[in-house]
A and B are shown apart, each in its own frame.
Chain A
């Protein structure tokens, strides 16, 4: 049984990156087999970009990612739209699909199983 690296990534680290940098960073780390917990997650548009760029990386050895974030409480406010910010971002967990599996998810709980054996 091999070890699995779990990275807890602060909001500060991700907020210093441009959206495309964040997505490339996450995919790069996940392809190395790491599980990442992002303190404040991604915006919905960044999540869609992450899905799109993940698809371009899929091969026999990399089948994709497992990503789970909490649903947002409400639509962005008027000020959020004006200042192009997302005050609704929440913790997100992302990892290789063959090592991370979601067991249960609801509004307030994400339960996952991490396995060192590739499934």
Chain B
């Protein structure tokens, strides 16, 4: 490669826009991995057909390592966007191995899961520094004012990064997505059921509008 070719390659590399990277955040069991898996199923390319999906469980902290899904090309309403989506472990301020024992795990399994869960939370917090935006997934049957939600929203506002709030689990009878919208009216919001695929067209439209 000649001098000018090398120079051109370096200049192009310098100005090349990196892939937009969006994090899926929220408390444990909000449905982040269920939503991440659905996005991957809907939009993964043929070349990524073997990309593994995240494991889902009713026991909290099932996702204990962040999983990045690359180059998902999403199309909605005549617009398209290419994103990397990072499914992060659930954020928490406390992790007690006794809670896992109450779910039927042995003491050894519970302590191991607890250790991995703490490492997962640390990884999720570190990812906040490297993202271009966040999809904050909230369980619509829970109080929206949890500290995890308040802290994630505050971080996005402080970093001036885009945020999309998702009220998940609207298929459940006690879901109250309006409470989430009323709690954080300054941010765009969409109500879905990732489990049943409800309102996903609206979700993808909001995703492109917010991160496109």
Contacts and interface: CB of A to CB of B under 8 A. Distances in A.
Nearest to B114: A58
Given A63-B94, A71-B184, A107-B183, A86 B118 contact: no
B147 A56 contact: no
Interface in B152-188: 153-155, 157-158, 160, 183-184, 186
A29 interface: no
B43 interface: no
A29 B126 CA distance: 24
Given A55-B118, A58-B114, A105-B143, A69 B94 contact: no
- Counting contact residues on chain B (CB < 8 A from A), the size range is 20 to 34
A64 B150 contact: no
A26 B9 CA distance: 49
A71 B151 CA distance: 8
The size bracket of the interface on A is 20 to 34
Interface in A25-78: 43-45, 47-49, 51-52, 54-56, 58, 60, 63-72, 74-76
A48 B143 CA distance: 20
A97 interface: yes
A93 B36 CA distance: 33
Contacts of B47: none
A63 B151 contact: no
A104 to B, nearest CB: 8
A30 to B, nearest CB: 11
A3 interface: no
Interface string A70-93: 111011100001000010000000
The winner among A47, A55, A65, A69 for most chain B CB atoms within 10 A is A55
B95 to A, nearest CB: 6
